[in-house]
Chains A and B, each alone.
Chain A
């Protein structure tokens, strides 16, 4: 008998309708097709037309349905009824919630606006929340960037006017060699995977420098299992080898970078080491045609990298001259750095040779004429097909800024930035640091702040210091401790507010950041600070308002909860003013819109946080939120997205502007704009002319297009900064020059570490024999921080996290897979299950980030493995370094940017008896009303 019978196909979730919006299971912002059946979400897959993902989705994106329906969703505004941290709440109405918040915030604004600290997590509305905070008038606003990857952002902007993160991309279609430094997943999750797939398809080479060989590193053709914190040294060694061999792109350096720019050499003078400029402030170079100094951008100038000048008795040499003297030093020879980096000298030589070969043996050429900012026309676009990408592996160290700078210098020396086959910026980048605002922090009762909170300092004058020299901001951003903290220091807010240093605050207002758990260092200490009372029995941090969409750990520590919708239930704006979805060839932005209406039957219900914040702004009468009569300017966030104008003609969304929707970038508000987005699949793409696609910082066509789109108001051509002059200004201050002087305790450090040319120093305690092992975390691809485990499908993949330990260390300590170990840092001890691993740097242990959960949170069973077995490394990390004997407690962050140094953690490990639960364990939180597993 031949079997021919075909069963009926399994029931397929065919939808009545597909609604296209933007994913928010992570911050990558892929386009999704939400299949709706009987008014409910039935299935989610990728939008094929979308510029970010082109149809693919990651595990989290496909699991969105389960987050949208999770039992941990909040249902109503909550008011705390029990002690803070207990989780006892009552449900209240939105009117009660918003009037309570307004009643708390109104008097503060009239008396001392800085007593409100408003900090947000990885939301995508920072241009809006920042606008609100600016109107309110508090200097205390920032988002998560400070503990995330500000080293990467700041180093990129200060060096090249653009950064990795998701603000640039390898030229996936042309690159022949990609080197990844410390990337596990990154924000550009799907684009990187799609790109890696393309490289594999073409047989291009992928190299990963990473202590751990999982994920992207697993498919790399070559793996450099570097010892954590030493990438800077490796990179400078590569520069050493390349320079010595003359394998740098001299033409590129001469034309597009500050390599030929003249620096003053006048030791002891207040301008020693600063750039020589003409009266108009233009940097000067020696023109090879004349041998005379000329402004860098003069028509036809041929900058001389070997130029010298003696002027008014001061000698001047080029940046390049200084650079080769620095890096040809034998301390950077592969043989000299090998031990520290844990990489054999011949492999460093091989890597340098591979880079040189890929860069110089086969340039990529596109037959596309273009004209540069000096007016010179080029018949084609030629590039060096080497691209690099890096993320927190190099930036989450206390030497991360300088390491990221070193990496950019390497990219630039090879001539690979903004050229075909290299690394490319995504609009609105490139944008040099001097085109960004400086930080604003001077605050006056009842008055908005004069400008944005965050920015890029040019020197000591821009620091956020009060007249008495103390920090103007609660997080002490932009102070001598971390002068270039362009994203603020979210990880210091609670500790500083608790210590009343630099001052006490009244209300802590947090949005979408799980600060009582996985996003804090010293988690147990943070919970303590949030619940601590003063001598009167009042909370040291008097009031905490929080917006979350789910019953997270942080919810239990707030006094008032503003429950957000899920991402499928609200309007959101992924804006060019913030973190857009642009591609290297196009500007692009997107929206979210309520593809289903929020419903929480039997409860008061939830509201999009931005709409709630608008309402709060109206109740407080904030300028920009009310008109002259105190009437609301916008009915809700959707209305704001359409009608708000930051500058005339420039609003949150760049597509379909102008009354009839015919304009892009600049144009009057279009009442029909959101519908146009929805009709187009939830996003807008504006392509740049072909002539503008590469060499953007120097390309006239690009500069003109950028002005037309409204990224800036006049062309901004600039040179890449191998030499970071703002750093030199801080050094000069430390050397005693200028009005504003650093405190004595910081002088030596600023002189040594704020070097205008990249350098490497050991970030963690040197030669510490008590804590010989590096401990890292990695992002699992199928989980997003703490908020993946509320998802029924994802939590089956990562429901617990072992500590992965190199096999040699396992053997040393007599450990077998599944055994338990005590892991001790100078700050604390955890006891956790271990698993042995070979494909890892021999001095490094690691685990997945944020899998461990507090019992009672996230509507999970108290016995959930996340809560019994899962654990956080955060208990071992302190926001201050252990005492060094100099009487100081140094902050555990980068001395330039204040970036939290999560990955400088060092530990020791001992075998432990089998445990019923990982340690430390905390008592279960009570679940808010209406929430049960």
Chain B
């Protein structure tokens, strides 16, 4: 799939933002007043920034409100609802914490759950797609959730939770990659099933000599070597380095560095999430 910056930013940032809000909703760290304001602000900037980024790739953003109508069937529509509910609940919790110095557990816990749910919903937008075998797996929600929680813990300054979560995210990431590598093969979808023309069939000529929406959007090829290198970088930045930094004697600067590394790592991981995902339509265009 084409690794479009808007979608990479959307999923990375909103994941982080909602991750942070989860912890804030649970009262971790137990902040109030100005400090709470800063934490909430970071959470909202990330979550909303991501959501706004996601509208960049819409052909008609002015009609975006229509996306709330199909929650019965559409994960994308559910995401719209999820985000709004999560943001509202967390806003209530935030008002309490910032302005009233109160730590309301009910909206907080509910908010945390809905934030987590929203991350899950986001992941299901991808995981539901049978047409992209690498995504069509339980590892996709697990990965999104693990990364979101790890990032949230890190941002929330919960070093003791963050370390295992970062390690978990790293582990899930590794499994997801390897499971993903076999997904296309296991999906059962091949050029043979795509064309009904038997086992030895290949594309001789594409339908048009130029590019089209499908090839631009869904056929992206990334070299194996390149991918392996990027995987290592992603893992290092997202998981390994932050964990090392957290295990070192605490210093704000190290914490900041850990966050920056992690965010960079998540962006690389998300880039790979798209770039490595093969859409079965690629078969019709000679991929594989």
Contacts and interface: CB of A to CB of B under 8 A. Distances in A.
Contacts of A837: 204
Contact of B209 (A1, A800, A839): A800
Contacts of B72: 1
B204 A799 contact: no
Contacts of A1: 72
Interface string B197-208: 000000011011
19 contacts: A1-B72, A796-B208, A796-B209, A796-B210, A797-B207, A797-B208, A797-B209, A798-B209, A799-B208, A799-B209, A799-B210, A800-B209, A801-B209, A835-B204, A835-B205, A837-B204, A839-B204, A865-B209, A865-B210
A796 B204 CA distance: 17
B214 to A, nearest CB: 13
Contacts of A797: 207-209
Interface of A: 1, 796-801, 835, 837, 839, 865
Residue in B72, B205, B208, B209 whose Cβ sees the most chain A Cβ within 10 Å: B209
A1 B207 CA distance: 39
A800 B208 CA distance: 9
Contacts of A798: 209
A796 B208 CA distance: 6
Nearest to A866: B209
B213 to A, nearest CB: 12
A1 B208 CA distance: 40
Contacts of A839: 204
Contacts of A835: 204-205
A798 B209 CA distance: 6
Interface string B201-242: 000110111100000000000000000000000000000000
The 9 closest A-B pairs by CB, nearest first: A799-B209, A800-B209, A796-B208, A799-B210, A797-B208, A796-B210, A798-B209, A837-B204, A865-B209
A12 B204 CA distance: 35
A801 B72 CA distance: 48
A728 B209 CA distance: 51
B205 to A, nearest CB: 8
Nearest to A797: B208
Contacts of B204: 835, 837, 839
Interface residues of B, number: 7
A800 B204 CA distance: 14
Interface string B176-210: 00000000000000000000000000001101111
Contacts of B207: 797
A798 B204 CA distance: 14
A809 to B, nearest CB: 16
B209 to A, nearest CB: 4
Contacts of B205: 835
Contacts of B208: 796-797, 799
A839 B209 CA distance: 20
Residue in A796, A837, A839, A865 whose Cβ sees the most chain B Cβ within 10 Å: A796
A837 B202 CA distance: 10
Given A797-B209, A798-B209, A800-B209, 12 more contacts: A1-B72, A796-B208, A796-B210, A797-B207, A797-B208, A799-B208, A799-B209, A801-B209, A835-B204, A835-B205, A837-B204, A865-B210
A796 B207 CA distance: 9
A558 to B, nearest CB: 30
Contacts of B210: 796, 799, 865
A148 B46 CA distance: 68
Contacts of A801: 209
A598 B204 CA distance: 42
Interface string B59-75: 00000000000001000
Contacts of B209: 796-801, 865
A801 B205 CA distance: 10
Contacts of A799: 208-210
A441 B207 CA distance: 50
B279 to A, nearest CB: 21
A361 B207 CA distance: 43
A801 B208 CA distance: 11
Interface string B68-99: 00001000000000000000000000000000
A801 B207 CA distance: 13
Contacts of A865: 209-210
A799 B207 CA distance: 11
A917 to B, nearest CB: 16
A800 B72 CA distance: 46
A800 B2 CA distance: 24
B36 to A, nearest CB: 42
A583 to B, nearest CB: 34
Interface string B134-151: 000000000000000000
Nearest to B202: A838
A566 B206 CA distance: 31
Nearest to B205: A835
B66 to A, nearest CB: 14
A797 B204 CA distance: 14
A2 to B, nearest CB: 12
B155 to A, nearest CB: 41
B199 to A, nearest CB: 15
A80 B72 CA distance: 69
B215 to A, nearest CB: 12
A796 to B, nearest CB: 5
Contacts of A796: 208-210
A837 B72 CA distance: 49
A835 B286 CA distance: 12
A800 B207 CA distance: 12
Interface string B22-33: 000000000000
B139 to A, nearest CB: 32
